[in-house]
Structure 1
Amino acid sequence: MGNKAAFSQAAQPATTQEIVLYPPKIGVVTFQNSSDPTSGAACVAPRATTYFNRRAELSSDVIWISEASEGVNAQNFRSPSYLRSSPKQIADDLGVNLSDSVEGLPRVAETVGRVRDIAAHSYPWTDFSTDWSHATLAASIAKILPGTGEIISSMESPLRQAHQSYSSVPDQRYPDGTAQTIYTLRANRLRYAQYICSTAVPTNAWISVPDVSRHSFKIDDFLDPGSPSLVEASIEFHTGLQEAVTPALAAFGSSRPMGRTPLRKWICQQELAWLVEHATVHITSAFMSHGSEPLSERHALPTALTADPVYALSIAAGLVAESHWVGLSNTTSVRRAGNSATAKFVEVASPMAVWLRAADRAYGFAMAKIVAERGFLVRGYGYGSVSFFGPKNEIGRIIELAEELGTCHPCLAAMEKRMMIGSEVNGMEG
């Protein structure tokens, strides 16, 4: 009788207050063939790498990030851009080789696991199963943060046009006749996120100026930081010898390497400030805000990321910080009623998103100018990074450039070491 009572007491289910809901684990997958993602290697820290022949063999309670951009449609698989930086980029930052399933893949998985832990403790998640169901961590963070207020309908299109994310320099291809590769130099993610999040953004009190020519406005009136402006303008870049490369570097409206992008006629004050140094800007109409303000406490970076300067040394903390500001600066999809009974979704950019993106674009353009002045061919810039073509076997020049730009990723020393080992092996084979 006593044993039965004891069993009955032990078998009582826990109350909901006693059940702890943990965030899903995040792992990394490398496929043998990324165009046919079926078999490969997978790792979830702190476990060792496992190998699989079919994706169905992988655990269903793990969010798997892979290098495969297509064909991975299971609910728990994510694209390489889930953390904005791909597993390959994270491996380069760590100075390891992602294809090394013994040392490289576990190191990347360990970093990704720390991203999960930091993100889980930095935000007020309510239900991990839905909160973490989005395509990117940035989208998940954006959903959990408060909104930025209503946008008046007359400003929707101007703000959308003024919002430019990554800047792709048009008509850039691999240089002919030389052994070139693509380098991407990136600022410290956490410090860069702090820089972007220090941008003052407009208040939501705006006045419209439909016809600038009917008023006595000067260009400086639209550059007053105390009165943020959004202007409709045409741009004529200077054509002097020293400015010959600037129109391409500015990549105005060119946010994709290939294909068409929406026509841009609107510019925010942050972008206007550097464009006027390289072009003649003709302003036809404008919106002007009554003032600007820092990001609110609820939109600022979590103190879990900023409490100690040493956190900037953590790649995992940097990845969370990057996802934070990218989430704030992305457009959102809003349901709109159409002419018929069918509603449609349109992309909407908030003033905050436009201003943060413009701050990033201004920083990237300054980096790109330095890279071009050093004789390299720039491909694009954004997210605190610049990509360019450079010689394969001259890492020393790239390291010098990285020091000049103040960038710290990727780990160029590890790249140089691998190249030296490769050349030694080739020499021995010869």
Structure 2
Amino acid sequence: MQKNYIRFLIHFLHDNMKKYALLLLAISFFACGLAQDPDVVSGETLKPGELQNYLDNPVIRAKYNNDPYDNERAVKLDGKMPCVSGEILNPGQACVEKLQSRTVMVKEFFPARVNSAPEFRGAFQYTGYSLSDIVKDYVVSKYNKSEFGLNTDVFVVVENDRGDKAVFSWGELFYTQDNHDIILATHVRPVFPSASDDKWPLPEKIRLIASNDYITVRNIDRPSKIIIRSFPESFPGSKGLRPLFSPTIEIKGQGAKTTIINAAETGRDIIISHDLVFFGMHKGLKGPCNYTGVPLSGVLKQKFKFSNTDLARGMIAIGAKDAYRVVFTLSEILNRTDMAEVLLLDEPDNEDGRFIVHPGADFFADRHLKGAKLAYILLVE
């Protein structure tokens, strides 16, 4: 009886050209009457007489089409773009008017508090401008350019007026396969599940979003500064020095803690193999390659204990005998959702080994480091 009534109501509204709000309400009642809330409209859930209403009404179409991310309306976030400074020749306020907008999807999972588990605070679709697009036209002039002229040791600090900070490597912005997954969001829409009543509040201000982070430690409200810097520690050596072989890696941690990585430290519990086309930013194609090693994350966790602050502000720079060095943020290594691990290879018979660092997520090979010898872990204050 209820189904017949609802069917009559829908046809009555259609015949009288009633739109939008009343039609949406009627279809909601219809779905409840059938004891289901379909994720998408299909031949099983849509009656022939309702097809035109679905096609004509953008509100209904957004709710019941195949895209689960556009069910809710987007909300604009208030605020202005931050100022860009640091080791650059052309500082100034970030200009985004001519930049392409980017969209990322995020499940925000905040760190555990004392005596509690990590807290899920919602799923969102954020739209804004990628950090790589924002900083790409600033001319880098490194303080250490006389020692090392490449940008593989450059990093970016984003902070707000409350003192919240997040650090990103130059590689995260320009060398990876997905270099637009870190954005300054100007719009947001929630992604609510279709078969539950779960809801969560929306942010109100422009927000820095690191969408590939597992634990939400680098999302910052109202960022006001973007600072481009080079890694401050020096690496001894000279360009062209061969062979690069080093039997160990010395890692200098925060404070006075120093540890040594040797063959026994790499372990064999987790082995990962990457097949890829090796392609450098400057020298181009070197051909297909296979790299098999252990996750660098596991090696570091054996030696150090990392806090949430370390994941937000920490980085590691790794260098070889020829003074070549690369920088990774600790979140890149320890806090990923894409499982594209940074690998540590142990090749004791390779004259450019023993230890090789391979970034699984990178498009360019410029952070593929042979003969790793010395590393520094640094926390941005």
Report the structure, 1 or 2, having the larger helix content. Answer: 1
Report the structure, 1 or 2, having the larger strand content. Answer: 2
Please tell me the TM-score bracket, short chain as reference.
under 0.3
Q: RCO higher in 1 or 2 (8 Å CA, sep ≥ 6)?
A: 1
